[in-house]
Structure 1
């Protein structure tokens, strides 16, 4: 394991510290919660807290701010976390290679759910054919993820590329427009006809107003019913079942459009951003990251 920075008046080598205490710290920092760490480690919350306190006493520093509704890393904890994260990652890879008799690498990838289901998943077989020695560990999110605290090598996000302390590379732009099943589309002759239906939305409460302005309309003079979802995939399923009209990127739902379960009734597009490959700017890219990025770019 690696060398811990100068903390608490001394240098500390991680190999001198109890493995259980380091793991309790690592999982607690990852979840920002002793309770969630206890659930992952299958021990009590008290046991996790005691392990962390023992580590703090050994190091002579405080690693977490204890608050009424949770915990957060102190400056010293923030210094320790990436070192412990790397150490456990290398240990995991080394043990896997030892057991499997092969040289394998791990890439931790955070992905917004819509992209994961509709773009990445259908292409994973291609990735593993090209890079059979790389194991992807994929976690989905609602466009909210922290590469540092979650130990992610890359995060694929939707937006405009302006995330703090991140290097962002645009994969592709994805304009939004109205999507709905054919039986609803048949009743939409002009944009103002949408006011007869429930408007479905995901995340952004202003996106319908933005699309209406793009169409030369305003919702202020109409009574509008809306349903808000925390998942674009769920919203699309709702419109297919006839609950209302969805505003979503057709590029992410081409399969359903080709199958005929979704229709794009208007050629009015709202430019909201695109999907970006992001990573922490404080860490250089590894060969594994570069391999994944190369494959990703080849797909476009």
Structure 2
């Protein structure tokens, strides 16, 4: 059917009646009389040459043809309504759903969100923290910030931040630590990914200690454990500056290992929207402008 000939009022009348399965409630929703609503539906049935409802004593029942048409109309009208809702204050608002590995969310992104909101009031961010295990299509995300080597099948990846790992611990850990080879690395599991206890120890030139005790899947939990004096953790100082500023953690020595970086990822099959582009460009600009981390 050509677009100029689509009977929009009749379709709205049918869709409302199909949801309520009663003409009286549908008429109240659309602010028309029940007779007018019934007239619109009858005209639509005549135009299509099929019956869309069967009238029963307690209301309406969809025919097979009506059941095929109703969900298409409901979905289309819902999408139109959701898009129109994004216009407020004289501008279009784009909702952006972003998955973020928890360490990056708390250590870098959240403290800077006010800057992004001020620069891009047309983008409504929805942040979903994770532990670096995320599926963009499976979780309904537009973007995901994750740690790794940048190689993920079917994803476009933009490198946004290097995050070398260094041994960090509480100020109260006893004894000096003059050099990496004299410093004991605690048997905590580094959850960031490629840099587990084994690889981290080798990167620092140390023999790997026995991996016993709690195994943690959160770098934030690992940092908290180290801050409580339970050992030394491999962490990215660039994301724990607020911990060192408050004296909860210190970096033991000027030696780090590179196990990956933080990347902004999106599906290759999906074109980049204006909101996605604004967020990507803002991320890269903010990272480039930040001072280097110190421990």
Same fold (TM over 0.5): yes
Of the three residues 156, 162, 179, the one matched with 2:151 is 162
Residue aligning to 1:290: 277
**Unaligned residue ranges in structure 1 (runs of 5+):** 1-14, 21-53, 60-83
CA–CA distance in 1 between the matches of 2:80 and 2:250?
A: 48
1:146 Cα deviation (Å)? 1.3
Distance 1:177 1:185, change over 3 A: farther
Matched residue count: 224
CA–CA distance in 2 between the matches of 1:147 and 1:139?
A: 11
Tell me, yes or no, if the aligned pair for 1:174 and 1:251 is still in contact at 8 Å.
Answer: yes
Question: Does residue 133 in structure 1 map to residue 129 in structure 2?
Answer: no
Structure 2 length-normalised TM? 0.66
Of the three residues 92, 115, 138, the one matched with 2:82 is 92
Question: Does residue 150 in structure 1 map to residue 144 in structure 2?
Answer: no
> Which has the larger helix fraction?
1
Instruction: String of CA shifts for 1:191-239, please: whole Å, max 9, x gaps.
Output: 34444744353254862222222233322xx545443211111111111
1:91 Cα deviation (Å)? 4.1
Residue aligning to 1:212: 201
**Unaligned residue ranges in structure 2 (runs of 5+):** 1-13, 21-63, 70-74, 288-295
Q: Which has the larger radius of gyration?
A: 2
Tell me, yes or no, if the aligned pair for 2:144 and 2:264 is still in contact at 8 Å.
Answer: yes
Aligned residues: CA RMSD: 3.2
Question: Does residue 175 in structure 1 map to residue 164 in structure 2?
Answer: yes
Structure 1 length-normalised TM? 0.65
Counting only pairs closer than 5 Å after superposition, residues 7-46 of structure 1 correspond to structure 2 as none
Question: Does residue 119 in structure 1 map to residue 136 in structure 2?
Answer: no
1:139 Cα deviation (Å)? 0.7
1:189 Cα deviation (Å)? 3.4
Tell me, yes or no, if the aligned pair for 2:142 and 2:266 is still in contact at 8 Å.
Answer: yes
